[in-house]
Amino acid sequence: MSSNQPNLVAEGFTDTAADYDDAVRFNIGGAQRLIMSIPAGQYDDVIDIGCGTGWTTQALVDRFHPARITGVDPSEGMLEQFQAKLGGIEGVEITLAHGDVEHMPVPDAAFDLGICSMAYHWFPNKWDAAKAMARTLKPGGVLAILCSGRGGDQAYRDVLANTEPVNYTWLGAFDAVQRDIPEMEDYLLQAGLEVEDVWMERRVRYTTVEAYMERMRVVAGHLIGDPSEGEVAEYMARVEAKMHEMSGPRGWTYEFTKLYAIARKPA
């Protein structure tokens, strides 16, 4: 990926920030399960990397009540939503840090807990990203990651592979983002972390074609392109027509795969 890829991703998320929460309620459930999987403990200083609109931080506040939270994101629009959602919570000091994971404007070894929910799959340099996250942790600090797992959305990928002319960027993006358990273990080990637990969750979902495409728009708008442009609109209409053809009585059926990881910096 080129070096300007994170900016493209950030701009895409800024465009869709206001619609994000409505379209990704399943991500929100996943974020809550990630937070429930963090070992019990006292986490006063927390960093949320790729913090987005703050759903994961909200779940974290509910469980751990940290004193200070730093939200990091390269998307201004997401940081605004994060501030709006979490800025008023009593007893919790919120700091916003504008930047991407490899250039976080935050001190080293300053955090008891790092969380990174549904953002890691967008990081173009996975090993460097893990190292960058590890450097923010205090000795003994915990890192909790949730990201897109290998094998999800195969029905949609099949539609894309058979809609011509083939959109290689969109189709190839699934391989670029999805990861499996051994890959995640390697990122964490190479970053000098102890891996406590890594697991995959696979779910079958039934939805409408329209709702599925809306989810795609808010999480991957930068790959799809501007749907108001003739060529993109025409291509999407053909994709959606195929999806309708393949839909059964329960609607559009797809599998979604999530990868979870909990690691710790050696004390």
Ligand X SMILES: C[S@@+](CC[C@H](N)C(=O)[O-])C[C@H]1O[C@@H](n2cnc3c(N)ncnc32)[C@H](O)[C@@H]1O
Query: Binding residues for ligand X, per CB under 6 A?
Result: 6, 9-10, 13, 27, 31, 49-53, 55-56, 73-75, 78, 100-101, 117-119, 122-123, 219
Give the nearest distance from C-beta 140 to ligand X in angstroms: 24
Of the two residues 61 and 78, which places its CB atom closer to ligand X in the complex?
78
Distances (CA, A) of 178 to 13, 16, 33, 62: 18, 21, 19, 29
CA distance 21 to 101: 22
CB of 106 closer than 8 Å to CB of 96: no
Instruction: Kindly tell me the sign of the dihedral angle through the C-alpha atoms of 138, 61, 103, 261.
Output: positive
Give the nearest distance from C-beta 36 to ligand X in angstroms: 14
Give the nearest distance from C-beta 182 to ligand X in angstroms: 23
CA distance 222 to 51: 18
Of the two residues 177 and 263, which places its CB atom closer to ligand X in the complex?
177
Of the two residues 174 and 235, which places its CB atom closer to ligand X in the complex?
174
Give the nearest distance from C-beta 33 to ligand X in angstroms: 12
Q: What is the chain's alpha carbon radius of gyration, rounded to the nearest angstrom?
A: 18
- The C-alpha angle with vertex 78 and arms to 139 and 99, in degrees rounded to 5, equals 50
Of the two residues 52 and 141, which places its CB atom closer to ligand X in the complex?
52
Q: Put residue 251 in one of left, alpha, beta given phi > 0 → left and psi -120 to 50 → alpha.
A: left
Of the two residues 163 and 191, which places its CB atom closer to ligand X in the complex?
191
CA distance 20 to 31: 14
Give the nearest distance from C-beta 69 to ligand X in angstroms: 12
Of the two residues 163 and 218, which places its CB atom closer to ligand X in the complex?
218
Give the nearest distance from C-beta 75 to ligand X in angstroms: 4
Indicate the residue whose CB is closest to ligand X.
52
